[in-house]
């Protein structure tokens, strides 16, 4: 600054009058007024000497022990002037704003307003934070938020220049004045599973910035008697029976997969910040009928056995025919009148006897095989083996 303007004076008489107007039982009031005036006098002297930090300390010591509103207004004005001379623009703006909260002389208030407006223009910008859901609303899927306990809290962190503090802020307020710099907006859940959305934003001098934060939704899943993978849109996000899952707002396909396949599924639309609860009861037992037994061997044995019996009967009948022909050849042999007839009938007799013997062997073999296969077929039909099990109870 080219020319240093002095702080506004605060006289001992003003402080003493304020002390005398205090409650009679407050015997400490005159002493506090004297202490306050000493702080003010020292602060004024230090200010004139351009020792602004020390002057600020003295003025801040005086303010808490001054009861008079007009005197406190003067002290707040002087505190703001110290910050201004120290080039601590942000704190100077806050101090002038605090000063303007109290009544004072119109000229002094006008000067403070001019300084505050200039500080805002040079070092501040506006920031609008759009939060979904807002910190004072209870969200509902596809419905207008209803009034209720806060489900989220908004905080504003300054990254650069170095932050003064991390403070709660009103996420729904438009055009909030903040010191120019880089900030991070944190929207955190205050109920249900822990969730957070953070966005960075830069506020420029004299500019208007806007940032949107959306609180993720959550699924609280409980399954009694079930184990498996809880999937959201086909991706495993948790394990049954207990799972708390953070999901992005929107339509989501939920499913539970056990060892035997999909157990449960549902498509749900999540609202921003919504906490959806799902509970599955114990599985319901279902009786599964026994599978149809495999009777392949039974039918194969029965069919082969039947063919063997038929073949055995055929060859048995053929053997009997051969024996009858052999009897005819024997009768012809006994009536032979010549050597040639005798030899001819003898050969016919032997051929018929040999053929009958062969047919009997084949017949008995086939009949025996058929009977054995019939027995096996009967056994396979009665007891089909491991393929036929009792009915099962499945879950």
Average pLDDT over residues 332-336: 74
Instruction: Give the whole-number percent of the chain exceeding pLDDT 90.
Output: 34
pLDDT value at residue 285: 65
- Assess whether pLDDT exceeds 70 at residue 100: yes
Asked if residue 63 and residue 48 are part of one domain, the reply reads yes
Asked if residue 253 and residue 193 are part of one domain, the reply reads no
- Assess whether pLDDT exceeds 50 at residue 12: no
Asked if residue 227 and residue 153 are part of one domain, the reply reads no
Q: pLDDT tens-digit profile of 349-381?
A: 788 888 888 988 888 898 889 888 888 878 777
Residue of 313, 300, 312 lying closest to 369 (CA atoms) = 312
Asked if residue 173 and residue 247 are part of one domain, the reply reads no
pLDDT value at residue 160: 81
Total number of domains constituting the chain: 4
Please indicate, yes or no, if residue 155 is contained in any of the structural domains.
yes
Please indicate, yes or no, if residue 109 is contained in any of the structural domains.
no
Q: What CATH number does the domain containing 62 carry?
A: 1.25.40
Whether the Cβ atoms of residue 270 and residue 276 lie closer than 8 Å to each other = yes
Range of the domain at 272: 217-283
Task: Show which of 182, 214, 246 is a domain's final residue.
Answer: 214
Going by C-beta distance under 8 Å and a sequence separation of 6 or more, which residues neighbour residue 305? 369, 370, 371, 372, 373, 374, 376, 377
Which H or E element spans position 261?
strand 261-270
Q: pLDDT tens-digit profile of 213-244?
A: 999 999 999 888 888 899 999 999 988 888 89
**Residue 9 pLDDT class (50, 70, 90 cuts):** low
Average pLDDT over residues 289-310: 80
Whether the Cβ atoms of residue 151 and residue 131 lie closer than 8 Å to each other = no
Please indicate, yes or no, if residue 4 is contained in any of the structural domains.
no
Please indicate, yes or no, if residue 40 is contained in any of the structural domains.
yes
Please indicate, yes or no, if residue 237 is contained in any of the structural domains.
yes
Nearest-angstrom CA–CA distance, 47 and 34? 20
351: helix, coil or strand? helix
Asked if residue 237 and residue 204 are part of one domain, the reply reads no
Nearest-angstrom CA–CA distance, 329 and 344? 9
Please indicate, yes or no, if residue 242 is contained in any of the structural domains.
yes
Alpha helices in the chain (DSSP H): 12-20, 29-48, 52-62, 69-85, 89-99, 106-123, 296-334, 339-382
Please indicate, yes or no, if residue 395 is contained in any of the structural domains.
no
Asked if residue 172 and residue 94 are part of one domain, the reply reads no
pLDDT value at residue 81: 93
Asked if residue 139 and residue 81 are part of one domain, the reply reads no
Q: pLDDT tens-digit profile of 128-162?
A: 988 888 664 444 433 343 444 557 888 888 888 87
Task: Show which of 214, 231, 260 is a domain's final residue.
Answer: 214
Asked if residue 83 and residue 53 are part of one domain, the reply reads yes
> Which position has the higher pLDDT, 298 or 112?
112
Asked if residue 242 and residue 300 are part of one domain, the reply reads no
Asked if residue 45 and residue 17 are part of one domain, the reply reads yes
Task: Show which of 164, 196, 214 is a domain's final residue.
Answer: 214
Whether the Cβ atoms of residue 80 and residue 99 lie closer than 8 Å to each other = yes
Q: pLDDT tens-digit profile of 15-71?
A: 433 333 433 344 456 677 888 889 999 999 999 999 999 999 999 999 999 888 888
Asked if residue 135 and residue 188 are part of one domain, the reply reads yes
- Assess whether pLDDT exceeds 70 at residue 324: yes
Q: What CATH number does the domain containing 239 carry?
A: 2.60.40.1120
Nearest-angstrom CA–CA distance, 211 and 155? 13
Asked if residue 88 and residue 100 are part of one domain, the reply reads yes
Please indicate, yes or no, if residue 117 is contained in any of the structural domains.
no
């Amino acid at each position: 600054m080219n020319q240093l303007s002095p702080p506004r004076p605060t006289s001992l008489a003003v402080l003493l009058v304020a002390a005398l107007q205090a409650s009679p039982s407050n015997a400490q009031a005159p002493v506090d007024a004297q202490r306050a005036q000493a702080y003010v006098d020292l602060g004024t002297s230090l200010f004139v000497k351009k020792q602004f930090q020390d002057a600020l300390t003295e003025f801040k010591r005086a303010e808490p022990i001054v009861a008079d509103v007009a005197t406190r207004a003067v002290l707040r004005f002087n505190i703001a002037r110290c910050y201004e001379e120290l080039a601590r623009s942000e704190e100077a703006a806050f101090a002038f704003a605090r000063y303007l909260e109290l009544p004072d002389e119109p000229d002094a208030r006008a000067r403070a307003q001019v300084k505050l407006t200039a500080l805002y223009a040079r070092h501040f910008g506006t920031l609008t934070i759009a939060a979904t859901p807002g910190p004072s609303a209870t969200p509902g899927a596809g419905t207008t938020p209803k009034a209720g306990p806060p489900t989220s809290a908004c905080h504003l962190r300054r990254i650069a220049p170095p932050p003064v503090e991390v403070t709660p802020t009103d996420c729904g307020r438009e055009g909030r004045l903040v010191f120019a710099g880089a900030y991070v907006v944190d929207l955190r859940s205050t109920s249900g599973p822990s969730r957070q959305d953070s966005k960075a934003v830069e506020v420029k001098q004299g500019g208007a910035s806007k940032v949107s934060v959306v609180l993720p939704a959550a699924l609280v899943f409980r399954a009694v008697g079930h184990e498996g993978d809880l999937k959201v849109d086909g991706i495993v996000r948790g394990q049954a029976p207990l799972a708390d899952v953070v999901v992005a707002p929107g339509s989501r396909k939920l499913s539970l997969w056990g060892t035997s396949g999909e157990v449960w599924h549902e498509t749900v639309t999540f609202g921003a910040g919504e906490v959806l609860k799902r509970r599955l009861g114990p599985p319901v037992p279902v009786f599964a009928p026994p599978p149809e037994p495999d009777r392949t061997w039974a039918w194969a044995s029965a069919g082969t056995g039947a063919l063997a019996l038929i073949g055995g009967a055929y060859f048995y009948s053929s053997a009997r025919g051969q024996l009858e022909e052999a009897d005819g050849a024997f009768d012809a042999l006994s009536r032979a009148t010549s050597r040639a007839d005798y030899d001819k009938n003898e050969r016919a007799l032997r051929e018929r006897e040999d053929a009958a013997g062969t047919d009997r062997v084949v017949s008995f073999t086939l009949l025996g095989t058929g009977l054995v296969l019939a027995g096996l077929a009967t056994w396979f039909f009665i007891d089909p083996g491991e393929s036929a099990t009792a009915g099962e109870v499945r879950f």
